[in-house]
């Protein structure tokens, strides 16, 4: 009897729909879905939906506001947020950690496509940076941010730093990320966050702040919940602007990759950076640069054994030196991006079920 997929996800989520389509193209049955809220109420439902040896795929909970709220409540967060309002991550991560441990305990007979410890490591930006550094993978210098703006400025003065990125420790999709320039009495903050009546909202565009009072409010909100400070390394640029890359590794092998070309310092596709051919962008920096970048990405994938899909955000500087910025356990949603005529979900289905055929299951 062949293996099937058991998936923790909202069945109508865009990721679930993309997975369904790939399975249909491969002539394989639709997964058994357990919605996140149902899995949180009773993790045993996950095991009951499958048979011993079936694959368990835990999808991103962040796109569903109800699930985010349930996880954050587990972590002690009691507020109700408006649409597009910035979501503090500490309580969410506590709830997510508890939920994933509960899922793992309830499903010993299922085979994880996204191992719980890998998900947690990649979701925590500080843990991820420490993991990469331990494996001698080049990253921008990264450390835990102080909890107040005054302490942050004192740290930057001590380090003689004038440009850094402040990132929420448990955020995603550039939400709350701040490019901060600090020199004497002049400051500038570039971010997707919009400050409105003391509340922070995420928008699909960049805002520049130079007023110290506004900068203080924005920084303090991010710092108080937990953040990292990352050295600002200028990105190499194409003719259209600075770029970095999202590189997708599937079953440990290089798959999709795309350059993200921005008009400013933050280049996430979430804020409508332009897509560009990865090889062309890298070759514009130097003929050896693609090989360097993909070699680094292979080392990253090797450091997360058993992870079916791994999204790696990687940049190169003007000298062509690669630096890994972040890793994403759920970095596979790249609509209309094809590799050898297949999207990322086609490749994942093929990797899972071809492996099954090879091992004779």
C-alpha 114/C-alpha 15 separation (Å) is 15
Tell me which of 78-92, 105-119, 294-308 is least confident: 78-92
- 357 belongs to a structural domain: no
- Does 97 share its domain with 36? yes
- Does 340 share its domain with 269? yes
Domain count, the chain: 3
- 182 belongs to a structural domain: yes
- Does 212 share its domain with 294? no
C-alpha 144/C-alpha 169 separation (Å) is 8
Task: Using the 3D structure, point to which of 97, 112, 127 is the last residue of a domain.
Answer: 112
| Surface-to-core class of residue 161, CB atoms within 10 Å of its CB (0-12 exposed, 13-18 middle, 19+ buried) | middle
- Does 239 share its domain with 226? no
**Over the stretch 21-71, which tens digit does the pLDDT of each residue have?**
999 999 999 999 999 999 999 999 999 999 999 999 999 997 788 899 999
User: Does position 361 have pLDDT exceeding 50, yes or no?
Assistant: no
Q: What's the pLDDT at 340?
A: 82
With cut-offs at 50, 70 and 90, classify the pLDDT of residue 354.
confident
**Over the stretch 190-239, which tens digit does the pLDDT of each residue have?**
998 888 888 898 888 889 999 999 999 999 999 999 999 999 999 999 87
With cut-offs at 50, 70 and 90, classify the pLDDT of residue 360.
very low
Residue 209's domain spans which residues?
142-231
Region 233-262: what's the mean pLDDT?
92
In the DSSP assignment, the letter for residue 338 is: -
Nearest to 58 by CA among 132, 1, 123, 2: 123
Query: Which helix H or strand E contains 137, and what residues bound it?
Result: none
C-alpha 133/C-alpha 360 separation (Å) is 38
- Does 167 share its domain with 242? no
Tell me the CATH number at 320.
Answer: 3.30.470.20
> Would the pTM count as exceeding 0.85?
yes
- 124 belongs to a structural domain: no
- Does 149 share its domain with 68? no
- 324 belongs to a structural domain: yes
Q: Interior CA angle at 94 toward 91 and 98, to 5°?
A: 140
Task: Using the 3D structure, point to which of 93, 112, 131 is the last residue of a domain.
Answer: 112
C-alpha 79/C-alpha 96 separation (Å) is 17
- Does 220 share its domain with 189? yes
C-alpha 22/C-alpha 147 separation (Å) is 45
Query: Which helix H or strand E contains 52, and what residues bound it?
Result: none
User: Does position 272 have pLDDT exceeding 70, yes or no?
Assistant: no
Task: Using the 3D structure, point to which of 172, 203, 231 is the last residue of a domain.
Answer: 231
- 48 belongs to a structural domain: yes
Tell me which of 110-119, 138-147, 272-281 is least confident: 272-281
- Does 87 share its domain with 61? yes
User: Does position 297 have pLDDT exceeding 50, yes or no?
Assistant: yes
């Amino acid at each position: 009897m062949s293996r099937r997929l058991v998936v923790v996800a909202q069945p109508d989520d865009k990721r679930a729909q993309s997975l369904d389509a790939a399975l249909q193209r491969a002539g394989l049955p639709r997964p058994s879905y357990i919605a996140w809220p149902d899995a949180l109420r009773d993790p045993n439902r996950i095991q009951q939906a499958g048979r011993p040896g079936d694959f368990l795929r835990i999808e991103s909970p962040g796109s569903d506001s109800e699930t985010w709220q349930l996880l954050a409540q587990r972590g002690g967060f009691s507020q109700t947020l408006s649409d597009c309002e910035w979501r503090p991550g500490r309580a969410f991560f506590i709830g997510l950690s508890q939920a994933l441990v509960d899922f793992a305990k309830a499903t010993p007979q299922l085979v994880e496509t996204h191992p719980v410890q890998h998900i947690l490591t990649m979701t925590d930006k500080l843990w991820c940076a420490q993991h990469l550094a331990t494996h001698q993978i080049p990253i921008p210098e990264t450390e835990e941010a102080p909890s107040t703006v005054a302490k942050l400025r004192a740290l930057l003065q001590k380090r003689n730093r004038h440009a850094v990125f402040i990132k929420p420790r448990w955020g995603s999709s550039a939400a709350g990320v701040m490019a901060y320039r600090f020199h004497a009495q002049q400051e500038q903050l570039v971010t997707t966050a919009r400050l409105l009546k003391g509340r922070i909202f995420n928008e699909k565009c960049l805002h520049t702040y130079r007023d110290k009072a506004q900068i203080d409010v924005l920084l303090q909100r991010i710092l108080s919940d937990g953040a990292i400070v990352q050295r600002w390394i200028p990105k190499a640029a194409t003719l259209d602007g600075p770029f970095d890359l999202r590189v997708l590794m599937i079953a440990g092998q290089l798959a999709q990759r795309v350059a993200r070309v921005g008009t400013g310092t933050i280049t996430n596709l979430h804020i409508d950076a332009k897509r560009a051919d990865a090889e062309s962008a890298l070759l514009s920096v130097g003929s050896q640069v693609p090989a360097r970048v993909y070699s680094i990405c292979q080392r990253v994938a090797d450091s997360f054994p058993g992870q079916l899909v791994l999204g790696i955000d990687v940049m190169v500087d003007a000298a062509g030196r690669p630096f890994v910025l972040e890793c994403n356990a759920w970095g596979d949603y790249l609509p209309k991006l094809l590799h050898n005529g297949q999207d990322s979900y086609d490749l994942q289905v093929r990797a899972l079920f071809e492996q099954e055929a090879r091992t004779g299951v």
